Amino acid sequence: MKVARVMLAAVVCLLMVSGVAWAEAGKKAAKPGAEGKKAKGPLTVEEMWAQVDSNKDGTVELSELLALKPLKGDEARAKKLLEAWDANKDGKVTKDEFKEFVAKQEEARKKMASKLDANGDGVLSVDELKGLKNLGGDEAKVKAMLERLDDNKDGKVTVEEFARFRNLLQAPAPTKAARKQK
């Protein structure tokens, strides 16, 4: 349970600080003149790929990651991200490698959300998340985070909605095997 809380804390921090790709879509829909337009949910894998494969050559290399605005030229972070995405370790990421990375991330978040769902109702509540240290028990912060995760705006964040949370620019935490090698 402690590992799940740490993982959720990391996700929450990233959600609040670095901004997730799909949050930008919601901001655009909220701009003046956007009345009547439906807020878009999380980006699809295809849409995310289109953002990162800026030269449209079918692969993503370090230079493309460094050009992404949220990375702000942070080479160390871009290298970690490329390493996480690049399954065959050839220095570039194919669309299939990217899709596999996103699918694994989604599955890990689904497991984490299920562990956090203390009452097992399939919905993450304010009370279930209020105890996270990085939120400091601030109910307003928890509610704001849950609102951003609520894709269908029904006032509930399901385990599935939580699992769809996507942060392209977050490398996964090292596995136990990787930590032992260091």
Q: For position 76, what pLDDT does the model report?
A: 93
Evaluate if pTM is beyond 0.75.
no
The string of pLDDT tens digits covering residues 34-63 is 444 444 567 888 998 999 999 999 999 999
Q: Return the closest-CA partner of residue 14 out of 1, 23, 25.
A: 23
Strands (E), 71-155: 93-94, 123-124
pLDDT (tens digit, 9 = 90+) per residue, 20-33? 343 333 433 344 44
Task: Write out pLDDT tens, residues 47-103.
Answer: 989 999 999 999 999 999 999 888 888 999 999 999 999 999 999 999 999 999 999
CATH number assigned to the domain with residue range 2-168, chosen from the 4 options 1.20.1250.40, 1.20.1090.10, 1.10.238.10, 2.60.40.1120? 1.10.238.10
Query: How far, in Å, are 49, 60, 61, 176 from residue 57 at the CA level?
Result: 11, 8, 10, 34
* Cα–Cα dist 66/61, whole Å: 9
Q: Where are the domains of the chain?
A: 2-168
Spatial separation of the C-alpha atoms in residues 61 and 53, rounded to whole Å: 8
* pLDDT tens readout for residues 113-170: 888 888 999 888 888 877 666 667 788 888 888 888 888 888 888 888 877 775 555 5
At 100 the pLDDT is 94
